[in-house]
Amino acid sequence: MQKLLRILSLFTFVAACQIAFAQCDSMAASCAKRNLDASFISDGQQYRALLVNSDETAEFHTTFYGGATYRIVACSGSTDGNLLFTVLDSQRNVIFASGNYQNAPYWDFKIKNTMDCIIDAQLNPSTNSGSGCAVILIGFKQQNAQ
């Protein structure tokens, strides 16, 4: 009986995780439609994490290449501003913090030199009281061939 309960508990946990990540997938698609316009091309990655507590932070690592224009998009839920994000360099110096810009759902920037960055994301405590999915999308601007 004890073994059966463990198996059922494990099955329930796995099913709940699959549902949560499926919701993250649909949220990422909706987020891209709202915030990645035609001038930006997705880098093909979906940086996502299930944050169980409102005080958790997800950390994503990426490289931005010199000479490119990027857009970082942050989403959690169906409305913008539910996810706070901070872009840091490899020494953890803050480059951008959405909280300093009315919880902006995206940030456009051009980078001069290639650099590794860290993107920290956390649920906005003023709009989220529990858990949620953190989704970060990165797009780059299409360069016109000359």
Sign of CA dihedral 71, 136, 80, 27: positive
For 120, how many CA atoms within 13 A lie in the half-sphere containing its CB?
17
**pLDDT value for 62:** 95
Low-confidence ranges of the chain (pLDDT < 50): 8-21, 145-146
Alpha-carbon distance 17 to 19, whole Å?
Answer: 5
At 144 the pLDDT is 59
Comparing CA positions, the residue from 80, 74, 70, 71 lying closest to residue 60 is 74
Identify the CATH assignment for 2-141 out of 1.10.340.30, 2.60.120.380, 2.60.40.10, 3.90.1150.10: 2.60.120.380
Q: Tokens in use for 9?
A: 């508990």
C-alpha to C-alpha distance for 39 and 33, rounded to whole angstroms: 12
pLDDT score of 23: 60
> What's the pLDDT score for residue 17?
41
Query: What pLDDT was estimated at residue 14?
Result: 40
Q: For the CA atoms of the chain, what is the radius of gyration?
A: 17
What local confidence, expressed as pLDDT, does residue 89 receive? 96
